[in-house]
Amino acid sequence: MLADAELGQDFTILNQQYKELIASLLGVVGMPGTPQEVAPSAAGNFRGYDGSQFYILQRGCIRAWYKGRPVYTLEEGDILLPDVAGSSDDGSAVYYHCDLGASLHAYPALEFMRRVFSDPSGIRLWSRLLVTYAGLMLRITAAHVPEEAPATPGFEDYEPGDIIIRQGDRADYVFNMTKGVAEVLVDDVTVGRIGEGEIFGAMAALTHADRSATVRAKTACSVVKVPKEQFTELIRSNPATIHSLLIDMANSIVNLNEQLVGLRGNHGVS
């Protein structure tokens, strides 16, 4: 995905992760796409695409326009999802332009999602794809906001030892670890770890509670920060995200139990 605006390195990193998630999801789904050719056109309309299909761009570029303005450009490996919200209203529809023609693979949306939901790894990939997509859209939106308007931070790098979440702080964001490993501490006692791809910080954000633990970078880490309001809307419209959260939370509980068993064992030996 290319943005029709100047964006930073964080967008490039997220975009690369987005493409890798799409490729991994296609591997889990394991269904062949139907080849389709897109003729060159100076202007387009969403209705030219079937709303019951997902599309993966194989060759060429397709530019998305909204209310007469270019927003982003889809390139090889990107996914084109139906614009359900705008498909019934010309004024709010997303239009797609393809200057030089392109090749797509089409996938029946219902069968595609059935295969996603039938595989726990597919659900996790789909959830993380949505979170990453939200991060990309946040940056594209911020790039079109006047400079005097404050932009919401959404991507940060941390060095080993840096605090990502501090126990007792207000919970304003949900995090997705895109690179690195962090440790979880309660009252300065290590009780777990967070690895690449895990969503964390959701419980406090969803329950409006203060942070119950500190998360500290163990290695160099990169994280996506999603505002809690945006994340709440995401899980409301995409229930599969809840399944991914439950898996990550269950893993955290297992790690915590193992840590407690270890602490008790050490205490017994002493």
Residues 8 and 109 in one domain: yes
Instruction: Using pLDDT thresholds of 50, 70 and 90, give the confidence band for residue 82.
Output: low
Q: Please tell me the distance from the alpha carbon of residue 216 to that of residue 182, in angstroms, as a whole number.
A: 5
| Better-scored residue on pLDDT, 239 or 117 | 117
pTM: 0.56
Which one of 75, 100, 123 terminates a domain? 123
Residues 178 and 117 in one domain: no
What CATH number did the domain enclosing 37 receive? 2.60.120.10
Average pLDDT over residues 163-184: 90
Residue (of 201, 128, 205) closest to 163 by Cα position: 201
Is the confidence at residue 266, as pLDDT, over 60?
Answer: no
Residue 131 lies in a domain: no
Cα-Cα end-to-end distance for the chain: 57
Is the confidence at residue 180, as pLDDT, over 90?
Answer: yes
Both tokens of 246, joined, read 């439950």
Q: Flag the least confident range among 114-123, 195-204, 216-225, 251-260.
A: 251-260
Residue 136 lies in a domain: no
Q: Please tell me the distance from the alpha carbon of residue 114 to that of residue 117, in angstroms, as a whole number.
A: 5
Tell me the residue range of the domain where 174 lies: 155-269
Is the confidence at residue 84, as pLDDT, over 70?
Answer: no
Sign of the CA dihedral running 39, 14, 239, 71: negative
Q: How many domains does the chain have?
A: 2
pLDDT of residue 241: 52
Is the confidence at residue 48, as pLDDT, over 90?
Answer: no
Residues 113 and 171 in one domain: no
Residue 212 lies in a domain: yes
Residues 159 and 107 in one domain: no
Question: What one-letter code names the amino acid at 230?
Answer: Q
Residues 72 and 164 in one domain: no
**Mean pLDDT rounded to a whole number for the chain:** 78
Instruction: Using pLDDT thresholds of 50, 70 and 90, give the confidence band for residue 139.
Output: confident
Average pLDDT over residues 150-179: 83
pLDDT of residue 208: 78
Residues 119 and 7 in one domain: yes
